[in-house]
Amino acid sequence: MIDLRNHAALVTGSTQGVGRAIAVSLATAGADVVVHGHEAGPTAEETLALCREHGVRAELIVGDLAGPTEACVDAVFEAVLDVMPEIDLLANNAGGLFDVPYLEMDVDRFERTMRLNVATPFFLVQRFARRWVEHDVRGRVVVTGSINGRLSEPDHAAYDTSKGAVEAMVRTLCVSLAPHGIRVNGMAPGLVRTPLTNTVLDHDADFLRWMELHTPNGRVPPADVCGPTAAFLLSDLAEHVHGQTWLVDGGMSAWQQPDKPGKQ
């Protein structure tokens, strides 16, 4: 039912993990896709191949979005226009976690987190929105947040702060851009399997069981579960959905405290 034919999307941070899941879901729905990553390589090529299997056009751009914000955003924006100027869908997924315990946090690490997770999507949306308004394009945006925007962890102070800001940003960009016919929403995963999280999940059975216990549906699924939600939010089916952040978390955010193991 999700039909994105005749649309073109940029998905930042899409060579693997949640970003790849979004890119493939958009391609499955018929959108042409620009895949973005920090560098070219086998994972980027694999994402392109997975998208092209659906008969759509898929192109790759590379660029670091964690550096000085204006220069990084402008470089990525110009690279996108060079390969696919008709972009009308934007999935801001690029992000990172660089935390150390709060009492050890330094300004450089905190600012890098906020640049990549908050400033970059804020200004990348602005670049596209200006173009869309100028050309009378009813653009659509989804920003990847996190369950950590609502539920905090003691050693993720900078990351949690950034993802809380993302959820607020989704709301404020909504009220700024909806009058121009541009829709802005967010998608916030819980714990899912990505190359990063697998380094822990595959080697710490106790941690995996602990996370399953804290998730009502008892699953720590692959990142693929995130893609269809982003595709829906970018589609005509979500025409009247504005300024919302949808959690894809198996119910984790709804459960105050799980039962003790073995309780019937």
Q: Which residues are catalytic?
A: 146, 159, 163
Contact between 18 and 223 under an 8 Å Cβ cutoff? The reply is yes
CA 71 centroid distance within chain? 21
Q: Look up residue 74 and give its two tokens.
A: 């402008």
* DSSP 8-state code for residue 117: I
Instruction: List the strands of the sheet with 8-11, edge to edge.
Output: 58-62, 32-37, 8-11, 89-92, 140-144, 183-189, 245-248
Four-point Cα dihedral 62, 246, 110, 157, nearest 10: -140
SS3 89: strand
What are the residues facing 90 on neighbouring strands? 10, 141
CA 118 centroid distance within chain? 12
